[in-house]
Structure formats: C-alpha cells, structure tokens
Structure 1
Amino acid sequence: MTRPNDLLLEMQKRMLRIRFFDERASKMVKRGEIPGTVHTSIGQEAQVVGACMALAEGDYMTGNHRSHGHPIGKGAALGPLMAELTGKATGVCGGKGGSMHLADFKVGSLGESGIVGSSIPIATGAALSSKVLGTGRVSLAFFGDGAANQGCLYEAMNLSSVWDLPIVFLCENNQYALSTPAHTVTAGVIAERAAGFAMPGVRVEDGQDVLKVHDAVKTAVDRARAGQGPSLVEVITYRFNEHSEGLKLGTDYRNPAEREAWMKRDPIKMFRAHLIDKGIADAVVLDALEAEVAAEVEAAYQFAEESDYPAASVAFKDLYTEPFGVTQ
C-alpha cells in the first residue's frame, strides 16, 4: 500500500505522543499526582496507531483498560486527557472518569472501561446506529487477549455478522492477561475464531510494525464501509512495562530473555529507522519531531496542573437519575 509521506510522519508523531504521554503518566503515579494507578501502552504503540489511522475522522472507536493510547491514536488533544487522569474539571470526562474511563466524542472515541470486554457491545451498538442511519461510519472495538474468551465478544460478533454491521473487532494480543500467559487459558488462534461467525479473520504476527497493522486494519475498514460486514483482526504485540504502574508481581511469569527480545523491537525505534532508510525523513527532522511531541506532553501536564478540581455541586450531574433528597 502506497502512503503519502505526511501520513507516515503523522504515524510516528502519534506513536511518540502515546509513548511520552504514558512515560509522564508513569512518573506522575509514582509521585502521587494521579489517584490509583495507570495501565500504559508502552511497547504497543504500533498496533494502536496503525489501527486508529486506518479509520476516517468520523469513525467510532472503543478501547479497554489500557487505553490512554487509543484516543491519542485517534487524534485527541493531550491536555484534556492528562487532566482527566488527575481528576480535573477540564478533563475529557470532567474529572469523573480517570485513567480507565477516557472518552472523547470529538474524535469518535466512545470510551473504555476496566471491565474486561465491556466496551465491545458499545462499539457494536455504534456500528448498528451507523447502518440504521446510513452514516457510513465504521466502528473499531479494541480488546485484549484476556477478553478473547468473554461471552459478550461472541454475542457481538454473531449479531454483527447476521446484520452485516460495519465493525472491526481488534484483539491486542500482548500475550498476558495481567500475569496469565494467553496460551494457558486460550485454545487455538484467536483470529481463526472468526470463521465460526462467517467473517474474515487475520492475524498480524508482527504487531510492532505500524505499517503491517495499518494494512490489515485498513482492509477490514474498507470492507466494512463497503457494506460487506465485520472482520476480526488479531495483532501480536507486547507491553514493555508491568500490567499497571507500581504493581509488584515479580518476574516469574515473564521470562526476562523474552522481554529483552521484545524490547529490541521497539516500534518507535523501528519506524524511525524505516523513515530514514526510505529517505522519508532524516535524523534532524525526526529529532525535531520528538522535541515537538515532548513539548506537547509538557504543555498537557501544565494544563492539568493548572486546572481546577470539579466543584462539589456537580457530583450528581451526568447521572441517569438524580438521587433522592438532592435539590437543584
């Protein structure tokens, strides 16, 4: 697939945004600036960006618990995302969602949740609305290998196939559900399960290559937009950090040599080398790009720092119903 140079540079920029954003979030947790913990996508940037940039601007996307990267990959502004992590009123959810519940409707990011697999039906509903209303929008549902055995996934895949919904189911197979190796709880190849629902299934073995992910997801998106129904894409990738920042699980469940081998295949370093090798950009341009993104993340941090916490008066706002005894 031929891609314009500006698209390739935008891919690198968005991967850098995810990396620098998550690195800053990790430091903030350790300093007590973020309540609770965060789950970073460090190491998985290629599959996030490759998939999100296969979508059109108005398309829908839902994430999972490891989801700072998903709205960033879809083009969301960094400031409101950082503010949400710190519980500030200027956050994308008014400070009420936090790290695992980001949503930015401006870029079609419908939200994510710490409940395993829970965003899949939301993406399916969005795809149904697109078909009923004839908007032409495609929906992309991210889920991890830990959600690959959830019943809601197969209920959604079944109905999507029956109704020819414009949706792509994308399994981010980073090979561990928290500390459980995928092969100990999941039989066979996840992508091959698509056959049971009469939809295409493809496995991207090298999920550290943003272009390979983009190719696979773009094919599925184009098929969905043409009215040919859903697809399942499984992407093999790896998280470099622990399941969540500050979590002490030890090293027994991950072979140090395995992690070291994956660390050598850093998707951002790999794509930088590709851009230079193909003559798309030189080191000076790419260094400047990194500096630009670092400044963006710093500005997002300052935006969050300077923002106020929500007022107590909005505690019950946004609920489906007001609790008894509350007056306006």
Structure 2
Amino acid sequence: MFTLAGKISSRLVSRLLLRCSSAQPLAPCVEETEKSQSQPLPNASPQELPLGDEYRVVYLPKDFKLHRLNVGPARAVAIKKSQAMEYYRQQLTVRLLESAAARLYKEQLVRGFCHLYMGQEACAVGIRAAMRSTDKLITGYRVHGWAYMMGVSAQGVLAELTGRRSGCSGGKGGSMHMYGRNFYGGTGIVGDQVPLGAGVALTSKYLQDGGVCLALYGDGAANQGQVFECFNMALLWRLPMIFVCENNNYGMGTSSKRAAANVNYYTRGDLMPGIWVDGQDVLAVRSATEFAIKHAQQKGPILLELCTYRYGGHSMSDPGTSYRTREEIQKVRQQHDPIQGFGALCLEQQILTADELQEISQVARLELEVATRAARKDKEPPLSHLWRDVYSGVYEGKLRGVHPGIEV
C-alpha cells in the first residue's frame, strides 16, 4: 500500500512485540522503590464498565500507590479497537516526530536547545485520552510531543523547530515555546510552568467553566521552591488542578536519588492526595488521569507521579551516557518500552493484529516524511514580523464584560 524506506514485514512486527509480551511495562524507578502494596483487583467490576461487543476489559499489571486516598484509580479498564489503534498511532507518531527533530538538529537546521521526549510517550497519550474539552495543560521544555497531542500538526512542530512561517508560533518560539488550544505551552525556566498552571486553574475556578488544569514538571523541577508554594496555594484555594511529576529518573545528569531526600514524589504534597502511576503503561496513565480529573473538579488539587524514562540525554547536546550506562538504556528499551509494550498487549488480548499494527506504523511514518519535507521547504518569517506578537488582546474584556482600556 505504501512504499516507505525501512518497511518491515508483519511477521517481524509480531516477533518484535511478542518479545516483550511477557514483561510488565515498568520503568526503572519502579525497581528502585519499595514494592507497592496490592489494592483489591479490580476497583471496578466488568459489569460497571461501558462494555459492548467492541470493548475489551484489560487488568492493569501494576498497582497504583496511594497517598491520603482510600480508593484509587480503576485497575480494570475498558478499551475498544478504535481507541487502541489511536493510542498506538499517537505514541508512535510522537516517537517518530522526535526522531525527525533529532535529525534536523544534527543537520543544524534547529537553533538553540532541543529536548526530546522519546521514551515518555505513554505519559502524553494517556493523559490526553482522559482530558475533556474544558481542561487545560501546561508543561516544561520537553514540549514537542505535547504540542502534537494538543492539536498542533507534525509540520507545525517541525516548522517551529526550524524557524519557519508555518510553525505553530510563526517560527519565533522554537523548541520550548509551542502553543495550542487549551495548551499553554512549554517554558525554558525549570519549574516555572507550575505557578503559571496554578493561575490557569484559578481562572477556571473564577469563571466556573468546569475545567481543570494539569501542570507537568520533572523530578528535577520537583525540588524547586515555587512548586511547594503552589502546593500550598492550591490547597488553600481548592484549585481544580492536577500536579503531574514526570519522573524520568534524571534531572539533567543527576539521578533522583542523588538530588532528593524523598523520591516518592507523589507524597510530596503533604496534605494533598497523591498517586504513583506506571508511566510506561498508557492505560494506567489514562485511568489515573480520569480519577484525578474527577477529584480535582470535586475536591481540589491532587498530585500524580508518572514513573517513566527518557532514552536520550537531557538535551541534544548531552549524549546521556556519562551518568548512566548504555546497558541501562538498552534494558529499558527492550523490557519497558511503552510502544512495544502496548503493541504486545494489543496482540496478546487480540485487540489488534500484527497487520493492523504494521499499517498504523506505515501511515505514521508517511505522515512524518511529508511533514519533514514541508518544514524544510517552508520559508523563514520576514524581518517585518520581528515586532509582531509583542502584545495580545487583554483578558479583562472577557472577564469583566468591558472593552480593553475602559475604566471599571
């Protein structure tokens, strides 16, 4: 159907995915933390799930760890074929998008920093699957995959990286400053997005729009003082907010155990409820996010720790092998990869076939090939655009029902 370079056979896809079907999709930080206490399985019975002929019930292999909660997310989750196809496609597309970004960077077409998301795809796809149209999200500088998941096209991401007109920020934002609908982008300052996210949550509460705000940060940013200040403010004001710590084991080149006295990040909110989640399992992330959204909307802030792993270095300028071994990285790729793990699950549960997974792979690769070519050919913005976008419409017009500049 497609003539793509590097096309592999359906039989090879099947062997590749079945290789990890017996291994649980867990990140290394799971092995380094104490064994979680088992919860009743499942938290929701199959009779309570929206079942039909098109649905399958999947029991998550790993327990959630709870802090100040008596009941946690459901470990029995329902998924239908169309959802499985979409989750697999999205994870694979984010992976291919970051691979394309890495190639463009090596060709010196990407200026400045470039932080990649490879290995953490299940976090973005699982969270996005649970979000509603009223919910908002803000993250840090590892933003490319999130921009795509929040509605920016692959070309919009790659063109922004290369400073082209069709970039989602007009070619002026670069790697760390991409935005979309209900997506408040990334930021180049470590942890700076968390207080901004608290402001977004406060706005939702003030306007009573029913939405919650998810503020994502890493295990390195978790040690920032501003994060703890936001914990306190969010609890005091009962903000509809979800704090999401993407624990990928390393803050730049420092392991979490060397940087933090308490590496159980889901407990760091003190009086705030928290949940530890296997961030390499897209269905576990979806289930936890669904639970957290309901909690944030009804009771106030909650903290999620997604245990995940990044394959690359901190950025493209970091080889990522001076503070960890190549064997460690390879072990995660072989045993805990989120895409291979989900593909193996779909085969094992007979949700998707090897041929269907192969076709999804072909479509995703074609999409990225087209997007990469378009980003290369696009023009840079003219100098006359340099002073544009300095100001935007002020918010008071919507908030107070008046025109900007009129005194109240």
Tell me the TM-score normalized by structure 2. Answer: 0.74
Cα distance between partner residues in 2 of 1:228 and 1:71: 29
Question: Counterparts of 1:49-198 in structure 2 under 5 Å?
Answer: 49-105=125-181, 108-188=182-262, 189-194=264-269, 196=270, 198=271
Judging changes above 3 Å, is the alpha-carbon distance between structure 1 residues 115 and 11 closer, same or farther for their aligned structure 2 residues?
same
Query: Structure 1 vs Structure 2: percent identity of aligned residues?
Result: 36
Aligned pair count?
A: 314
Question: Counterparts of 1:223-302 in structure 2 under 5 Å?
Answer: 223-225=295-297, 227-248=298-319, 251-264=321-334, 265-302=336-373
Stretches of structure 1 lacking an aligned partner (at least 5 in a row)? 322-328
Judging changes above 3 Å, is the alpha-carbon distance between structure 1 residues 10 and 54 closer, same or farther for their aligned structure 2 residues?
same
- What is the CA-CA distance between 1:47 and the residue it aligns to? 1.4
* Partner residue, 1:325: none
RMSD of equivalent CA atoms: 1.6
* Partner residue, 1:213: 285
Cα distance between partner residues in 2 of 1:218 and 1:31: 41
Report the secondary structure of 1:64's partner residue. Answer: coil
Cα distance between partner residues in 2 of 1:76 and 1:286: 24
Runs of at least 4 residues of structure 1 off by over 3 A? none
- What is the CA-CA distance between 1:142 and the residue it aligns to? 0.9
Cα distance between partner residues in 2 of 1:100 and 1:288: 32
Judging changes above 3 Å, is the alpha-carbon distance between structure 1 residues 260 and 296 closer, same or farther for their aligned structure 2 residues?
same
* Partner residue, 1:324: none
Cα distance between partner residues in 2 of 1:306 and 1:98: 17
- What is the CA-CA distance between 1:42 and the residue it aligns to? 0.7
Cα distance between partner residues in 1 of 2:294 and 2:78: 15
Report the secondary structure of 1:235's partner residue. Answer: strand
Report the secondary structure of 1:109's partner residue. Answer: coil
Cα distance between partner residues in 1 of 2:319 and 2:365: 29
Query: Which deviations, in whole Å up to 9, do the C-alpha atoms of 1:267-318 show, x marking residues without a partner?
Result: 1011011111111110111111111111111222122123221111121112
Report the secondary structure of 1:269's partner residue. Answer: helix
Cα distance between partner residues in 2 of 1:93 and 1:41: 20
CA contact (8 A) 2:136 2:213 kept: yes
Cα distance between partner residues in 1 of 2:149 and 2:349: 23
Cα distance between partner residues in 1 of 2:365 and 2:169: 24
Report the secondary structure of 2:91's partner residue. Answer: helix
CA contact (8 A) 1:64 1:114 kept: yes
Tell me the TM-score normalized by structure 1. Answer: 0.91
Letter paired with 1:316: W
Report the secondary structure of 1:110's partner residue. Answer: coil
Report the secondary structure of 1:111's partner residue. Answer: coil
Query: Which deviations, in whole Å up to 9, do the C-alpha atoms of 1:118-169 show, x marking residues without a partner?
Result: 1112211111111111111111111000100111111212111111111111
* Partner residue, 2:274: 201
Bigger radius of gyration, 1 or 2? 2
Query: Which deviations, in whole Å up to 9, do the C-alpha atoms of 1:50-76 show, x marking residues without a partner?
Result: 122221134211111111111223343
Cα distance between partner residues in 2 of 1:304 and 1:290: 21
Cα distance between partner residues in 1 of 2:96 and 2:246: 20
Letter paired with 1:214: R
Cα distance between partner residues in 2 of 1:207 and 1:86: 30
CA contact (8 A) 1:29 1:36 kept: no
Cα distance between partner residues in 2 of 1:168 and 1:208: 19
Stretches of structure 2 lacking an aligned partner (at least 5 in a row)? 1-76, 393-408
Report the secondary structure of 1:104's partner residue. Answer: coil
Cα distance between partner residues in 1 of 2:387 and 2:380: 15
Report the secondary structure of 1:76's partner residue. Answer: coil
Report the secondary structure of 1:48's partner residue. Answer: helix
Query: Which deviations, in whole Å up to 9, do the C-alpha atoms of 1:212-261 show, x marking residues without a partner?
Result: 11111211012223x21111001111111122124346x33113332222
Cα distance between partner residues in 1 of 2:222 and 2:276: 14
Pairing partner for 1:32 from 108, 111, 119:
108
CA contact (8 A) 2:220 2:250 kept: yes
Judging changes above 3 Å, is the alpha-carbon distance between structure 1 residues 244 and 266 closer, same or farther for their aligned structure 2 residues?
same
Letter paired with 1:199: M
Letter paired with 2:328: E
